[in-house]
Structure 1
């Protein structure tokens, strides 16, 4: 059994790493500036916000839900952080918990309404997307809030190692997320709920608290993503992260997380984030227009979803 699981893990991770290496090789041939330390370091320092979102999204997808509000919650948490630090002169250590609690609370509301009232999470989180985006504009008065050096250090590369503190926190979050999903009772229950929620209930386990909790965790990850993006831009922008929820979902699906629930890996989602960022950076370097970049990225997402559907159908056929 362990050998089978090990073989499956090698095939899963090995295939994703092979795709990542192939993309790097292709863009290195097409652009002489791609395979350079500055480009690779830039990619690493640009991924923390999407990585945080992908960690939370993986857990939500595993239980069979989806969260379309993550981009707006990122912007809302960033706005709260910016207003507290820039306008109220709060220190980061005091402002960050408030920003994360706001995003986490919105996530819990998503989970409570979706699970408690049996409403599809797609609809609930779509509504929260609009609510949070509007709240962001109210908080900031629709103006960008400049925070400056008090937050820049988190997103700026450390001179000696060229990587930012945000990158290391994001990697640590991926490791912690993978451990929770694969090595804890909470994670195993989440997988079981996504696989067969009725069987979980028949076993005497209350599925609702776990399903609600993952939406709360997704909200907290939006708070960290808001910190990462604000530190990189030095600003809280009310229009930030529009559409990033699609990239987060795409990263998870590319990594093998099922849209039907019951299967997922945080590490695989992280590799999916790297694939998306390498794709976007490479396309930009070879001069592909924004319109064509959107078309190509959309094609990759559709291909990943199609692969997930075929993989699910093939799995059912084997059973």
Structure 2
């Protein structure tokens, strides 16, 4: 590797450390925005800070947080995954079929979890492999997978919702620990694991490097192909986990589940400060972004706004977040 190439690689892989102070400021700003929302809704609504409503917020945030954690890996490398909502539906249907097998309750639940995770992981792997091998935009590939997964979910289920899950499985969706939903704790542990991978492993540094410069990763002797495949595979894996949580919460497995979930996940990641161009962002920011979306949705419902108004306001927040990302990118280049 020549001197110029070495410098390029070092810039890509150490960029995250150089921006650590700016990253802290960014996440602090997102945290302050979340605190401001909490204060506003606490003052303007009567039941926002009640124990029941806080539990509701944690439960409502869970699925989006799980999907957003996986989406963070993809967006960090400069990609996008539009298929996660449809993958959730496919994974839920596959798991619903598995849990209906007459093999005993413990075995059926184990098979359902395994089937959901495996289905999501395989689809994510295909997204990454096709996009990376032919150097195609992930936007197009995952848009195609969105339709493939949705069609497969409808075909496997005969376009019918699957009901009647074991009570042991349903109990998981409503279980709490010291007032905190267990499903949220699962999502939080997944976020902590993702944080560790991105901040404490070579693989995590490679993903940041890939988002800054593919050429730097290649010159450093690492496989760009397998890094991309791994990022999309993780995103598919989290879609499988989200499907199980969805089933446990609602006690159904629907082929039309997850419509629009991919947009909420992307919004959480972008609001959380991860750059759409890749190379900058964190799981902590994604966690805060998911909470901003969840708190905003909950507070607007308590204010009595219509579904149309809530969609409009959420859309405005996303647009503002993208504009801020544009200026963040200019700031970090200076």
- TM-score in terms of structure 1 length: 0.95
Post-superposition offset of 1:164: 2.3
Whole-angstrom distance in 1 between the partners of 2:203 and 2:58: 30
Post-superposition offset of 1:88: 5.0
Whole-angstrom distance in 1 between the partners of 2:296 and 2:202: 36
Alignment match, 2:172: 154
Contact 2:100–2:108 (Cα < 8 Å) also in 1 = no
Q: Give CA-to-partner distance per residue, 1:270-306, whole Å, 9 cap, x none.
A: 1100100000010011011111111100111111011
Residues 225-244 of structure 1 correspond to what in structure 2 (within 5 A)?
225-244=242-261
Matched, 1:293 2:307: no
Whole-angstrom distance in 1 between the partners of 2:23 and 2:279: 16
Matched, 1:72 2:86: yes
Whole-angstrom distance in 2 between the partners of 1:150 and 1:80: 19
Alignment match, 1:41: 55
Matched, 1:114 2:131: yes
Whole-angstrom distance in 2 between the partners of 1:14 and 1:62: 20
1:147–1:16 CA distance, 2 compared to 1 (3 A): farther
Whole-angstrom distance in 1 between the partners of 2:206 and 2:197: 11
Post-superposition offset of 1:16: 1.5
Residues 183-222 of structure 1 correspond to what in structure 2 (within 5 A)?
183-222=200-239
Whole-angstrom distance in 2 between the partners of 1:106 and 1:66: 14
Contact 1:147–1:236 (Cα < 8 Å) also in 2 = no
Whole-angstrom distance in 1 between the partners of 2:250 and 2:302: 21
Contact 2:98–2:115 (Cα < 8 Å) also in 1 = no
Post-superposition offset of 1:180: 0.2
Contact 1:55–1:269 (Cα < 8 Å) also in 2 = yes
Alignment match, 1:169: 186
Whole-angstrom distance in 1 between the partners of 2:172 and 2:32: 31
Q: 1:276 aligns with which of 264, 289, 293?
A: 293
1:9–1:310 CA distance, 2 compared to 1 (3 A): closer
Whole-angstrom distance in 1 between the partners of 2:186 and 2:114: 16
Whole-angstrom distance in 1 between the partners of 2:313 and 2:259: 18
Question: Which runs of 5 or more structure 2 residues have no equivalent in the other structure?
Answer: 1-13
Whole-angstrom distance in 2 between the partners of 1:315 and 1:6: 11
Contact 1:45–1:155 (Cα < 8 Å) also in 2 = no
Q: 2:278 aligns with which of 233, 244, 261?
A: 261
Whole-angstrom distance in 2 between the partners of 1:157 and 1:287: 28
Residues 16-165 of structure 1 correspond to what in structure 2 (within 5 A)?
16-88=30-102, 91-148=108-165, 149-158=167-176, 161-165=178-182
Question: Which runs of 5 or more structure 1 residues have no equivalent in the other structure?
Answer: none
